[in-house]
Amino acid sequence: MKKKLLNLFLIAAMLLVAVPVVAAAPPPQGGGQDYVVVADDWLSKLADKFLGDVLAYPAITYYTNQKNAEDPSYAKITNSDLIEVGWKIYIPSPEEAQAYFDAQVAKVGATGDTIKIGALAPFSAPGAVVGGTQMKAAFEIAVDEINAAGGVLGKPVELIIVDTEGLPERGTAAMERLINQDKVVAVVGEYHSAVGLTAKEVAHANHIPVVFAETWNDKITASKYPEVFRVAPLSSEVAALDANFIQSLGAKKVVIMTENTGYGIPAAESTTERLAERGIEAVTFSADIGTQDFSGIIERIKAENPDLILVLLTGETSYNFQQQAAEAGIGPQDLPMICNQVADNSEAFWSNVPDGNLCFYRKIGLAPALYTPETQAFVDKFFAKTGETPQSYAMEAYDSLKIMAQAINEAGSTDADAIIAALENISYDGALGHITFPYGINNPPPEDMGDKWWHQFPDFAATFIQYQEPGQNSADAPVVFPENLKTADPILP
């Protein structure tokens, strides 16, 4: 049973770029069993115990809700991450679960009565392919959960994912295609700020709600467009965090290695300002996204004789620079270096930066010690699906879609204004924690805070991690900042 169910998920994922919609399963035929939820139960855990596959949890959700429609003594599961002690649920037999997934796979590619939501992510260079790949897996988990819980407005969600390649022009084209050809009612996702800056203009022009995931540029929300929301942190707020950490390390002169994008240049400028406030000098070098050879820039960095290097290059480009810097004698084992956050993917990091020991990197999202039940449930599902630990951009992708689905349900309509109103009043618990958007149309940001807080998730969490052993798994790498969360002292070269 375990192998067959897992294979069905893999087949469904491969058949379409659009995540398959969930078809109606046959009515329960019996053979399953009632079950009362106890402490420490999760649907994925129960699926593994009774069906031999952690990814079979949507079948439990589906059949329990079918039972609830006939008998209210059964729970109504609206979020597969949230089940409560004492709930009566229905565990289907292996045959019933198989029937559910057979119906799902048979429906792949069908054009039924669905709610279409678009998603943006980079799957091709020069975009951050590692990030886009994790975001896609997170979207798939979210859409499975949404549909297993009854979909949106009583209809299954059809998620249409488009590759932006990390390029602004592709972001524009992708958003136009989703809105004008695919006729989506809303859009979620994206990794690169440069893409978000252009895509938001298309969303605004067409009055389509969008919840951006991993796009940090302040201007994305500072435009105060009614349609635009964001669950990622603000670049200027991250810059202040970086400056505090750099100050704690005692650096007096910093080289910032950034990218020529809508994220990289403003991020470098904000960080330079925050460092100056702390009496720290900063010199910035920049390169195009996708740059392969950094030898010339590295020689110029050496001439600056910095105390620390801050890498604001993203994705695979950051790996190129970090390893070449190490080979030139200014890598993290020679000079304190804050690597790009994709260093948290330890397998990819060590494969591309074998000389990356002692690298610091910023991790957005809750530290493991602060995981909520919703965070842990998502981490477990993601690991079961991919064999990887989800990074911040995966959590943001997951939450962006779940938030949008909740807003449409609460709006009771696919009308854009109704969805926007629901998003402004959303109260959602997900992988990133408790998410709200406190400032917007009916409650503008105070002047002393600035327009950047418009439709912005304000409570993002962040820590600094350091690899302190060659080949160390990111799950084992210690937190070294901030002081109240650290699990080890930083090691300087």
We report the CATH number of the domain holding residue 28 as 3.10.350.10
Map residue 258 onto helix, strand or coil: strand
Looking at residue 22, what is its pLDDT?
A: 36
What rounded mean pLDDT belongs to the chain?
89
Q: Of 45, 73, 106, which one is at a domain's C-terminal end?
A: 106
For the CA atoms of the chain, what is the radius of gyration?
23
Strand order in the sheet with 157-163: 157-163, 115-121, 186-189, 210-212, 228-230
pLDDT digits (tens, 9 = 90+) for 255-302: 999 999 988 999 999 999 999 999 999 999 999 988 999 999 999 999
Residues 166/126, Cβ–Cβ less than 8 Å? yes
- Both 123 and 227 in one domain: the answer is yes
Angle CA 260–266–267, to nearest 5 = 95
Asked if residue 390 is part of any domain, the answer here is yes
Whole-angstrom distance, CA of residue 389 vs CA of residue 367 = 13
- pLDDT at residue 48 is higher than 90: no
pLDDT digits (tens, 9 = 90+) for 350-388: 999 999 999 999 988 887 777 899 999 999 999 999 999
Q: How confident is the model at residue 462 (pLDDT cuts 50, 70, 90)?
A: confident
- Both 259 and 216 in one domain: the answer is no
Asked if residue 201 is part of any domain, the answer here is yes
Q: Of 87, 106, 125, which one is at a domain's C-terminal end?
A: 106
Q: Is the pTM of this model over 0.75?
A: no
Asked if residue 487 is part of any domain, the answer here is no
- Both 264 and 312 in one domain: the answer is yes
- Both 218 and 240 in one domain: the answer is no
- Both 324 and 467 in one domain: the answer is yes
- Both 361 and 477 in one domain: the answer is yes
Looking at residue 214, what is its pLDDT?
A: 93
- pLDDT at residue 109 is higher than 70: no
Asked if residue 486 is part of any domain, the answer here is no
Asked if residue 176 is part of any domain, the answer here is yes
- Both 222 and 127 in one domain: the answer is yes
- pLDDT at residue 26 is higher than 60: no
Instruction: Return the percent helix, strand and coil in the chain, to nearest 5.
Output: 45, 15, 40
Angle CA 224–222–127, to nearest 5 = 115
- Both 240 and 224 in one domain: the answer is no
**Structural domain total, the chain:** 3
- Both 255 and 355 in one domain: the answer is yes
Asked if residue 111 is part of any domain, the answer here is no
Q: Of 54, 77, 106, which one is at a domain's C-terminal end?
A: 106
- Both 349 and 406 in one domain: the answer is no
Mean pLDDT confidence for 389-394: 92
Looking at residue 106, what is its pLDDT?
A: 45
Residue 33 CB burial class (10 angstroms; 0-12, 13-18, ≥19): exposed
- pLDDT at residue 416 is higher than 70: yes
Range of the domain at 253: 236-367+463-481
Looking at residue 206, what is its pLDDT?
A: 96
Percent above pLDDT 90 for the chain: 74
Percent above pLDDT 70 for the chain: 91
* Of residues 5, 93, 103, 7, the one with CA closest to residue 54: 5
- Both 79 and 23 in one domain: the answer is yes
Report the CATH number that the domain containing residue 302 is assigned in CATH. Answer: 3.40.50.2300
Asked if residue 489 is part of any domain, the answer here is no
- pLDDT at residue 27 is higher than 80: no
- Both 197 and 312 in one domain: the answer is no
Asked if residue 316 is part of any domain, the answer here is yes
Looking at residue 29, what is its pLDDT?
A: 56
pLDDT digits (tens, 9 = 90+) for 292-318: 999 999 999 999 999 999 999 998 899
Looking at residue 7, what is its pLDDT?
A: 40
Q: How confident is the model at residue 112 (pLDDT cuts 50, 70, 90)?
A: low
